[in-house]
Amino acid sequence: MTADTERESALRPVGLRARILLAFAVGGLGLSVVLAGATMVLARGQLLETREESAAAVAVNNAVRLNNQLTPDTTFEDLPSIVDSLTSLEGSQLLVRLKTDWLLAPEFGRGDIPGVLTARIEGGQPGQIRAIVAGRPQLVIGLPLPSFDAAYYEVVDLAGVADTLGTIRIILLSAGAATTLLGAVLGWWASLRTLRPLRRVSAAAQAIAGGRLDTRLERQADPDLDALADSFNGMAEALEQRIRRDARFASEVSHELRSPLMTLTTTVGVLEARREQFSERSRTALDLLSHDLARFCRLVDDLLEISRFDAGAASLELTEINVANFVHASLHVAHLDDVSVADGLGGRPVVIDGDKRRLARVMANLLGNATHHGGGLTGVSMERDDTVVRISVEDHGPGVPAAEREQIFDRFSRGSSGGRRGGGSGAGLGLSLVWEDVRLHDGRVWVEEHADGGSGARFVIELPLPEDVLELEAT
């Protein structure tokens, strides 16, 4: 891929369907993030508050019981038995200071209690604080017992709350991913529903562009879509009337020209029969007149044929055509028997259903274009695949620029090289008739470079194989 192609791909706008799907997916993700964040904040606050309230209630009850069991004669040795009788929450540990002695928990020492809380308790005020103690989140509650110069501490493990929050976080992440995926699925479904009318409009527009001028959109019992359908149908009706009016005009003009042209042709024929009686200068003028009159007659015939296409009156008279015999016969009629023909049909006869007159005109126009405007015909090739047969005509001219390979089949188009492609200059209708005739056969025609990269143009006709032939080959 070239740098220009990569740049064009990067700058290519995102389609409407992709934008709708992305909007639903991003909306689902945003909603999931907001709900997950709110849920985490509320759940964390509720869990911590519940844990702290239950721990504080137990601590107060234990401190009261401890204060009731202490006496002035209580010694440090009496503390373990008293502490063992107190209630403790799962995951909590008790610490007691009696005067200068500390009854410590197995996993906690005096230094593990935050100094801020110790100072508050020594000041005679109860308090609690959340802190990281021994590498784990803990709730430390302290209650002073001033009557006995003692203090009660309870360290409550908050790891269970953290584990619960972690589980909730995983659930919310999974729900967020599912919501985002569901949003994308809904976006895909909504894009299909939303763009269905546009696809119908696109298909109708393509049908009209392909020559089916009577194509119309059906009403959908929807006020907004019905307005679109009415507008489109009105435009299509106006376009059809305009094209048919122009086609009738061209047809009528061409018909009106045929009578004087026949008179002129007869007159020129009489003059040609007596050309020996004319001077050299008069014979030159007669040759010019004969040449332009023949060109004018071809132009009128082409205009009549095009008017039939525009009016929808063109039809096919189908017969079986052997492709190889047809190509060789076309070259023989054009006096090009010495041109090489590459037979890629696999050595077996290939038969198609086609209008022999129209396909003969297609070949005549392509061979004439290569001979007179393409620097000379260099070769003809035939090939087929599973469903189509292709006939290629190659010339030795300057080729057709990539930007003109579609418009060269437009009417009266000669391309940028039209002024230098050979000595004669046509009216620019031959290739347009080729396109119309091939399209009438449900085929395609295009122009490309030579397969070997050499100079010149390569016109390719692609015609479908008959259904019965395909079915026979499949069996």
Secondary structure (DSSP) of 355-418: EHHHHHHHHHHHHHHHHHTSSSEEEEEEEE-SSEEEEEEEE-SS---GGGTTGGGSTT---TTT
Tell me the per-residue pLDDT of 252-263, one tens digit each, with 9 for 90 and over: 776 677 778 788
Element (H or E) spanning 139, and its range? strand 136-145
Reported confidence tier of residue 310, pLDDT bands at 50, 70, 90:
low
Res. 461 pLDDT band, cuts 50 70 90: very high
pLDDT at residue 383, as a whole number: 92
Better pLDDT: 7 or 168: 168
Q: What pLDDT does residue 419 have?
A: 44
| pLDDT score at 475 | 61
Q: Is the pLDDT of residue 277 over 70?
A: yes
Residue 271 has a pLDDT of 84
Q: d(Cα 226, Cα 243) in Å, to the nearest integer?
A: 25
For residue 460, is pLDDT > 90? yes
Higher-pLDDT residue of 372 and 224 is: 372
Residue 443: pLDDT over 60: yes
Q: What CATH architecture does domain 318-474 belong to?
A: 2-Layer Sandwich (3.30)
In CATH terms, 223-310 corresponds, of 3.40.1440.60, 3.30.499.10, 1.10.1040.10, 1.10.287.130, to: 1.10.287.130
Cα separation, 286 vs 66, whole angstroms:
137
Mean pLDDT over residues 176-199, rounded? Answer: 82
Looking at the chain, the domain(s) classified CATH 3.30.565.10 span 318-474
The tens digit of pLDDT for each residue in 377-436 reads: 989 999 988 889 999 999 888 888 888 888 888 877 766 554 444 444 556 778 888 988
Q: How confident is the model at residue 329 (pLDDT cuts 50, 70, 90)?
A: very high
Rg of the Cα atoms in the chain: 47
Return the pLDDT at 294.
80
User: Which residue would you say has higher pLDDT here, 283 or 473?
Assistant: 283
Quick one: pLDDT at residue 321? 92
Question: Which residues does 350 contact at the CB level (< 8 Å), separation at least 6?
Answer: 322, 323, 324, 382, 384, 389, 465
**In whole numbers, what is the pLDDT of the chain averaged over residues?**
81
Burial class (CB in 10 A: 0-12, 13-18, 19+), 457: buried
> Closest by alpha carbon to 39, among 197, 226, 182, 165?
165
pLDDT tens digits for range 122-173: 888 898 888 887 777 888 888 998 888 888 888 888 877 778 888 888 888 8
Residue 179 has pLDDT above 80, yes or no: yes
Of 170-184, 288-302, 389-403, 436-450, least confident by mean pLDDT is 288-302
Q: Count Cα atoms within 13 angstroms, Cβ side, for 124.
A: 3
Identify the weakest region by mean pLDDT among 3-7, 45-49, 258-262, 346-350: 3-7
pLDDT for the residue numbered 462: 93
Please choose, from the candidates 13, 91, 194, 74, the residue with its C-alpha nearest in 3D space to the C-alpha of residue 83. 74
What single letter denotes the amino acid at residue 379? G
Cβ neighbours of residue 287 closer than 8 Å, sequence gap 6 or more: none
Domain with CATH 3.30.450.20 in the chain: 73-158
pLDDT (0 to 100) of residue 427: 60
Distance of CA 261 to the CA centre of its chain: 54
> Over 90: is that where the pLDDT of 330 sits?
yes
Residue 188 structure tokens: 């895909």
Locate 231 and state its tokens. 């507008």
Q: Could you tell me which of 379, 253, 367 has the C-alpha nearest to residue 304?
A: 253
Gap between the Cα atoms of 36 and 241, Å rounded: 61
- Predicted TM-score of the model (pTM): 0.51
**What's the pLDDT at 416?**
58
Q: What percent of the chain has pLDDT over 70?
A: 90
* pLDDT at position 423: 43
| Lowest pLDDT segment from 162-171, 260-269, 306-315 | 306-315
pLDDT at 13: 66
What pLDDT, on the 0 to 100 scale, is given for residue 254? Answer: 66
How confident is the model at residue 312, as a pLDDT? Answer: 66
| Percent of residues, the chain, with pLDDT higher than 90 | 11
* Element containing residue 238 per DSSP (H, E): helix 223-273
CATH: 3.40.50.300, 3.30.70.980, 3.30.450.20, 2.60.120.260. Which one for 73-158?
Answer: 3.30.450.20
Query: Cα 83–84–87 angle (5° rounding)?
Result: 85
